[in-house]
Each structure stands twice: as C-alpha cells, then as structure tokens.
Homo-oligomer: A and B are copies of this chain.
C-alpha cells in the first residue's frame, strides 16, 4: 500500500514528459539523428502542428532533456542532453512491446 503509493509517485516524472502527445516520437528522432532542426521534425513526423512542436521543444528544453544551439542568428538545432539520452531504455522497451503486439 505504502509501497504502491511511493512507486506511483516515482513514475510521474517520466509520464509528465512521455505522456504528452508526440513527445516519444520526437525523442526517437533525436536518438537516430543526433542533431535535429525544427522543420526536419515537421517533415519526418508528419502531421505535427508547428505550435505543438514549438511547445514540446520548449518543454523539453525546460526539463533539460534537449538543448538548443544557434547555427546562425536565426537558425538553430536541437540535441539530446545526458538526461535525454537516458530516456533511450524507456523508448526501447516501448518499441519492444509495440513490436510484439503491433
């Protein structure tokens, strides 16, 4: 009982990130591509609203899961932090489950 409550609290941080629509898919791209640009994601993911994408990237930055670096005064690219790369095992286990039951 107490155990249960404790463990549920502990999953929350991950669900707050991965629970948002598109976020797991986005992170997948980061893992495959190392550095990613805004419009690259738009093209690859297909169907994501730029406003939503913008919100996700900002949120991921705020949580230190990705970093934004400018390649010129107006163009930028994003890449995973260590914290972000640590999500890889989660994404892998999701992939395994998905493959088994797709």
Decide: A7 and B28 in contact? CB cutoff 8 A: yes
Complex copy number for this chain: 2
- Whether A39 sits at the interface, judged by CB under 8 Å, is no
Q: Which of B12, B20, B93 contacts A98 (CB 8 A)?
A: B12
Tell whether A37 is near chain B: CB-to-CB under 8 Å: no
Contact A44 B87, CB 8 Å, known A25-B11, A94-B18, A95-B10: no
A10 and B44 within 8 A (CB): no
CA distance A3 to B28 in the complex (A): 11
Residues of A within 8 A of B (CB): 3-5, 7-8, 10-15, 18-21, 24-25, 28-29, 32-33, 44-45, 83, 86-87, 89-102
A-B pairs with beta carbons under 8 Å apart, 8 shown = A7-B32, A10-B98, A14-B94, A14-B97, A15-B25, A19-B21, A86-B101, A89-B96
The 9 A-B pairs with the shortest beta carbon distances in the complex, nearest first, are A14-B94, A13-B98, A4-B32, A90-B93, A14-B98, A89-B93, A15-B24, A10-B98, A93-B93
